[in-house]
Amino acid sequence: MNVLNKIKLALVVSAIATLTACGGGGGGVTNTDPQGYWTGLATSGYTVSTAVLDNGETWGIYSAGSAIYGALYGTSSVSGSTITVTGTDFNFQTNTSTPGTLTGPVVAKSAMSLSNANGSVPLKYQTSYDTAATAAAIAGTWSFTGRSGRYTLIPASITIDGSGNFTLIQTTCTSIGSIVPRPGGKNIYNIHLTASGTSCANGQSSMSGIAVIDATVTPNKFLSLALTPSKNDGIVMVGIKQ
């Protein structure tokens, strides 16, 4: 089994963990700020893309080319220069979700390595995180591939208007959504969509999450992960600007 399939993240969301993730600490210890957009190549060959937000929420996708193999959601906390991520791994190869913990060293705006008993995933900070998200950057038509916990989405395209609104149509399922810059001046967008129809990947439900634009490649690329309120399923999408 590859390293990423061994990633076991458990959801532990608390005010204490969030405050710790944002810095501070007792006894004169200064905690490293882990927030940012991080990417790395695992020994399995999967590309891992992870966003650690200013409130400690941690979102991730692992993929190979246009194929999406899993997603991560959890909360990060820091003690000194050691980061601990607890949450859930959504494995699309086995269609399972598994709790667990990853930990390792982190250097602000440079590098971190997330490890458990089965291996580690080295990640490098992406400076694009410090470029503010804009409505203009996300607007336009994007071709996409996507997955939920149980289904592969039919490849298609979506058009996002100047206010961030879009409609995602999949056979007999239609999702109305929006994607708008997240407050804070970073390259993170908030995404929300509501699905309705007879064959929706996650039933008829609302989902919320984040998206990131990779402007270092041409054409630009976006990655998004939106989860149900219970955080037990969701939709992952990778889009290419047309």
Convert 72-96 to b/e letters by CB count within 10 Å (16 or more is b): bbbbbbbeebebbbbbbbbbbeeee
Structure tokens at 56: 């400690």
pTM for this entry: 0.84
Backbone angles phi, psi at 220, to 5 degrees: -60, 155
Tens of pLDDT along the chain (242 residues) come to 433 333 333 333 332 233 334 444 445 779 999 999 999 988 777 899 999 999 999 999 988 877 899 999 999 999 999 999 999 989 888 888 889 899 999 999 999 999 877 668 999 999 999 999 999 999 999 999 998 877 888 999 999 999 999 999 888 788 999 999 999 999 999 999 998 877 676 666 799 999 999 988 899 999 999 999 988 888 999 999 99
Is 75 within 8 Å of 58 (Cβ atoms)?
yes
Angle in degrees, CA 217, 3, 34, rounded to 5? 60
Q: What is the pLDDT of residue 19?
A: 33
Taking alpha carbons only, the member of 137, 136, 156, 138 closest to residue 146 is: 156
SS3 66: coil
Does domain 130-241 bear CATH number 2.40.128.20?
A: yes
Give yes or no for a cis peptide into 183 (omega within 30° of 0): no
DSSP string, 183-204: TTSSS-EEEEEEEEESS-BTBS
Q: What is the pLDDT of residue 79?
A: 97
Convert 153-180 to b/e letters by CB count within 10 Å (16 or more is b): beeeebebeeebebebebeebebebbbb
Q: What is the pLDDT of residue 14?
A: 32
Pinpoint the residues of the chain covered by CATH 2.40.128.20.
130-241
Assigned architecture for domain 4-125: Beta Barrel (2.40)
Q: What is the pLDDT of residue 16?
A: 28
Taking alpha carbons only, the member of 99, 104, 98 closest to residue 121 is: 104
Is 171 within 8 Å of 198 (Cβ atoms)?
no
- How far is it, in rounded angstroms, from Cα 221 to Cα 126? 14
Q: What is the pLDDT of residue 150?
A: 75
Q: What is the pLDDT of residue 27?
A: 54
DSSP label of 127: G
Structure tokens at 142: 């994007």
